[in-house]
Structure 1
Amino acid sequence: MADVELQGIGKRFGALRALDDVSMTVPDGAFVVLLGPTGAGKTTLLRIVSGLDPADQGRVVIGGHDVSTATPAQRNVAMVFQQYSLYPHLTVRENLEFPLKSPLLRTPVEQIGRKVGEVAEVLQISHKLDNKATDLSGGEMQRVSIGRALVRRPAVYLMDEPLSSLDAKLRSDLRIELKRIQQEMGATFLYVTHDQIEAMTMATHVGVLDQGRLVQFGPPRQIYEDPVSIHAASRLGLPRINILPAGLFGPAPAGARHIGLRPEQIRQGEGGESLVKRVEHLGDQTRLHLTFRDHDLVTVTDTHTKLRPGDMVRIRPEKPLFFDAAGDRIH
C-alpha cells in the first residue's frame, strides 16, 4: 500500500471552479472519506487521483512518486465507480478474474481461483459466480464491481459512492466488511460519499469539501466535536446540528451570529421553557422536536420518555459552539 499526497490541486470546467487549491495527505493504510454535498468536488478529486482527469494545477504523489503525468495503469490504483463497471457478456467469475489476467499483474493461474473465491465469499456472491453479469440484480452487480477492485493489491483503492445503490441492510453489512477488509489488508482507501453514517463508521480521516475547497481534514470524531465552520459541523451528526441565533439563550461571545447545538448539547429539566411539537421513537433513541422562542430545534431524550406533543420542557445549552456571520467558528 502507499500514502497519497495532494499538493495544491486545482481544476476548472469552463467558468466553474471545481477544485480550488486542495492539499491533503492520505496516510499509508488509512481509510479516508471525502464528504460533501453534490457538486462539492469529491468525484472530480477522485478522478484526478486515478489519472482519469488531469489537474489544471498541483501534483499527485503516490508512495513518494509524482504521478501527475502518469496514466491510470501506471499509477497502480483500483477504482470502483458509482455505476457498475462490468463486462455484460462475461460471467461473474470471468469479471472477477479479468483484472488478475492483466499483463501488468501477471498473476499465477493457481492464485486466480483462490483470490476470486475469497472475494466472492466476502461479498456474498459465491452462488452467482457462473451467472452472466446481465442476470444479476443492481446490488449484486455493484458487489461484483467492488470485487473487481478487491481481487487486486493496488497501491490505493479509490471508491466513488460504491454502496449508494444497495438496500439498507446490505449497505450496512458491506460497510462492516469493507472496513474489516481494509484493516486486515492494511490497505489505503480514498472513498467518496455524501452519507455521514459511512463517514463516521468507516473513516480514519474525513476530508470535508465545500464548493471545491477542503474546509477541514481530520478524524471524524475531531470534526464532529471541534468543527471549523457551520458547513463542517453540518456534515456529521444525526440529527443534524441545530443552528440558531447566537443570543437565543443569553449573552454570546463578541462577533458571534450563530449558536450551534448538537442534540446531546441541549440539557433538559432546567432553563427556558420550550414546546414539544413531535416525539419520534426510533428504538435506540427518542428524538424531541421542540419550539423555543419561535425557533425549531431537535434533541434526544430517554427512550422511554413520557413526553407528548403539547407538553412543555425546560432546556438550556451545554458546551455550545459559536460561529460568526460567515459561518466560521469562534473559539
Structure 2
Amino acid sequence: MAEVILKSITKSFDGHRALDDVSMIVPDGSFVVLLGPTGAGKTTTLRMVSGLDKPDNGEVMIGGRSMRGLTPAQRNVAMVFQQYSLYPHLSVRQNLEFPLKSPLLKTPQNAIDAKVNTIAEILQISHKLDNKATALSGGEMQRVSIGRALVRNPQIYLMDEPLSSLDAKLRADLRIELKNIQAKSGATLLYVTHDQVEAMTMATHVGVLHEGKLVQFASPREIYEQPVSIYAATRLGQPRINVVPAELFPGAPAKAKSIGLRPEHIAQGDGQDATVTRVEHLGDQTRLHLTFKKHNLITVTDAHTELTSGETIKIQPNKPLYFDAAGMRLV
C-alpha cells in the first residue's frame, strides 16, 4: 500500500471547473471517504488518481512517485465503479480470478483459488461462484465487482459508491466487512459516497467537497464536532444540524449570524417555549420535531418519552456552533 498525494489538482470539462486547486494527502493505510452531493467533484478526484483522466494542472503522487504520464495499469490501482463492470460471458469465479491471472502477477493457481474462496465467503457469494455473471441480481453483480478489486494487492483501492445498489441489510453488513478488511490488511482506500452513515462508520479521514473545492479534510468526529462552515456541518449528522438565526437565543457572539444546533445540543427542561409538532419513535431513541419562534427544530429525547404532538417544552442551546454571514464557523 502507499501514501497518495494530490497537489493543486485542477480539472475542467467544457468550461466547467470540476476540481478547483484540490490538495490532499491520503495517508498510507488510511480509509479516506470523499463526501459531497452530485457534482461536488468526488468521482473526478478518483479518476485523477486512477489515471482515467488527466488533470489540467497539478500532480498526483502515489508512494512518493509522480504519476504523470503513467497509464492506469502502470499505476497499480484497483477501482470499483458505481456501475458494476463484469465480463458477462464468464462465471463469477472467472470474473474474480481475472485480475490474478495477469501475466504481470504470475499468481499460482492454488493461491488464486484460496483468495477467490476467501473473498467470495466474505461477500456472501460462495454459492454463486459457478453462475454466469448475467444470471446474478444487481446486488450480486456489485458484490462480484467489489470482490474483483479485493482479490488484488494494489497500491490503493478506489471505490465509487460501491454499496449504493445493495439492500439496506447487505449494505450494513458490507460496511463492516469492508472496514474489517481494510483494517486487517492495512490497505489504503479512497472511497466516494454521498451517504454520511458510510462516512461516519468507515472513514479514518473524510474529505468534504463542494463545487470542486476541498472544504475540510479531517476525521469524521472532528468534522462533526468542529466543522469549518455550515456546509461542512450539514454533510455529517443524522438528523441534520439545525441552523437558525443567532438572535433567537441569547449569548451569541457579535459577528454571529447563524447558530448551529446538533440534536444533542438542544437541552430540554429550561429556557424558552417550543411546541412539539411530531414525535418519531425509533426504538433506541425518539426524535422530537419542534416549532420554535416559527422555525423548525429536530432534537432527540428519551426513547420512552410520553410527549405528544401539541405539547409545550422548554429548550435552550448546549454547546452550540456559531457561524458568520458567509457561513464560516466562528471559533
TM-score by length of 1: 0.99
Aligned mates of 1:284, 1:78 — CA distance in 2: 39
Question: What is the identity, as a one-letter code, of the residue corresponding to 2:205?
Answer: H
Report the equivalent of 1:204: 204
Cα deviation 1:26-52 (Å, max 9, x = unaligned):
000000000000100000000110000
Q: Work out the CA distance in 2 between the residues paired with 1:310 and 1:216.
A: 40
| Equivalent residue letter for 2:154 | P
Runs of 4+ with deviation above 6 angstroms = none
Q: Which residue of the partner structure matches residue 36 of structure 1?
A: 36
How many Å apart are 1:213 and its aligned residue?
0.3
Deviations 1:177-221 (A, max 9, x none): 000000110000000000000000000000000000000001000
| Partner of residue 25, structure 1 | 25
Return the offset for 1:69: 1.8
Q: Secondary structure at the match of 1:70?
A: coil
Tell me which residue corresponds to 1:177: 177
Q: Tell me what 1:285 maps to.
A: 285
CA-CA distance at 1:259 after TM superposition: 0.4
Indicate the SS of the match to 2:5. Answer: strand
Report Cα offsets for 1:157-192 as digits up to 9, x if no partner. Answer: 000000000000000000000000001100000000
* Offset from partner CA, 1:37-72 (integer Å, 9 cap, x none): 010000000011000011111100000000122100
Q: Counterpart amino acid of 2:87?
A: Y
Question: How do residues 86-165 of structure 1 correspond to structure 2 at under 5 angstroms?
Answer: 86-165=86-165
For residue 265 of structure 1, report the CA deviation from its aligned partner: 0.3
Q: 2:79 — aligned with what?
A: 79
Task: Give the secondary-structure state (helix, strand or coil) at the position aligned to 2:206.
Answer: strand
**Identity of counterpart residues, as a percentage?**
73
Please tell me the root mean square deviation across aligned C-alpha atoms, in Å: 0.6
Instruction: Tell me the distance in 2 between the aligned counterparts of 1:243 and 1:112.
Output: 53
Partner Cα distance (2:271, 2:249) in 1: 9
Secondary structure of the residue that 2:288 maps to in structure 1?
A: strand
Q: String of CA shifts for 1:70-115, please: whole Å, max 9, x gaps.
A: 1000100000000011000100000000000112222122211111
The residue type equivalent to 2:200 in the other structure is M
Partner Cα distance (1:161, 1:105) in 2: 28
Q: Secondary structure at the match of 1:166?
A: coil
Partners of 1:27 and 1:129 lie apart in 2 by: 35
Letter of the aligned partner of 1:208 in structure 2? V
Shift of residue 267 of structure 1? Answer: 0.2
Q: Structure 1 regions of 5+ residues with no counterpart? A: none
- Structure-2 separation of matches of 1:239 and 1:301: 13
Partner SS for 2:197: helix
> 3-state DSSP class of the match of 1:247?
helix
Q: Could you tell me the TM-score, scaled by structure 2's length?
A: 0.99
The offset of 1:148, in angstroms, is 0.2
Aligned residue type for 1:111: A
